[in-house]
């Protein structure tokens, strides 16, 4: 049924991760920077699932689970910080956040 080599999935995962890094570097809006981190996490998840498939074991899927849980926790705290920043600085541009205090 599925004669797709695992390497295809891994290459796709690498491409997505690379695009995530590019987005992380180039975006200036703190929310979109946050989103590019999520994109990188997703790329890693794809690699995990592909490896789990190749090994015929389920450990990889368990790790995907943990990654998703950590991403959810990170989103909750991160977005709270974003809201705080936006209220104090009245801008979402990271280049305006250049002081070590709020």
Partner 1 sequence: MSVPIILFFVCALLAVVGAVLLILAREPIHSALALVLVMMSLAVLYLLLGAPFVAAVQIIVYAGAIMVLFVFVIMLLNAGVEERTDFSKIAKWAGVPLGFFLLLLIAHFLAHSSIGTAIATGTGAATQAADTRELSTQLFRQYLFPFEATSILILIAILGALVLARKDE
Question: Of 96, 80, 88, 102, nearest to 29 (Cα)?
Answer: 96
83 to 102, contacts with partner 1 by CB under 8 A?
Answer: 83-84, 86, 92-93, 95
* Closest distance of CB 74 from partner 1, Å: 8
77/100 with CB nearer partner 1: 77
Question: Of 62, 16, 65, nearest to 43 (Cα)?
Answer: 16
DSSP classification of residue 29: B
Using CB under 8 A as the binding rule, whether residue 82 contacts partner 1 is answered as yes
* Closest distance of CB 4 from partner 1, Å: 5
7 to 66, contacts with partner 1 by CB under 8 A?
Answer: 7-12, 14-23, 25-29, 31-32, 34-36, 38-39, 42, 45-46, 49-56, 58-59, 61-62, 64-66
- Per the CB < 8 A criterion, the answer to whether 64 and 48 are in contact is yes
Using CB under 8 A as the binding rule, whether residue 69 contacts partner 1 is answered as yes
Angle of helix 59-89 relative to helix 30-55, nearest 10 degrees?
180
Hey, what are 48's tokens? 């995990």
């Amino acid at each position: 049924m599925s004669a797709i080599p695992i390497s295809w999935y891994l290459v796709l995962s690498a491409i997505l991760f690379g695009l995530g890094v590019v987005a992380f570097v180039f975006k200036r809006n703190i929310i979109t920077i946050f989103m590019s981190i999520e994109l990188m996490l997703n790329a890693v998840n794809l690699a995990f699932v592909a490896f789990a498939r190749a090994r015929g074991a389920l450990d990889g899927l368990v790790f995907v689970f943990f990654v998703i849980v950590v991403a959810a926790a990170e989103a909750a705290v991160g977005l709270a910080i974003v809201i705080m920043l936006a209220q104090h600085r009245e801008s979402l541009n990271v280049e305006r956040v250049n002081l070590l205090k709020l």
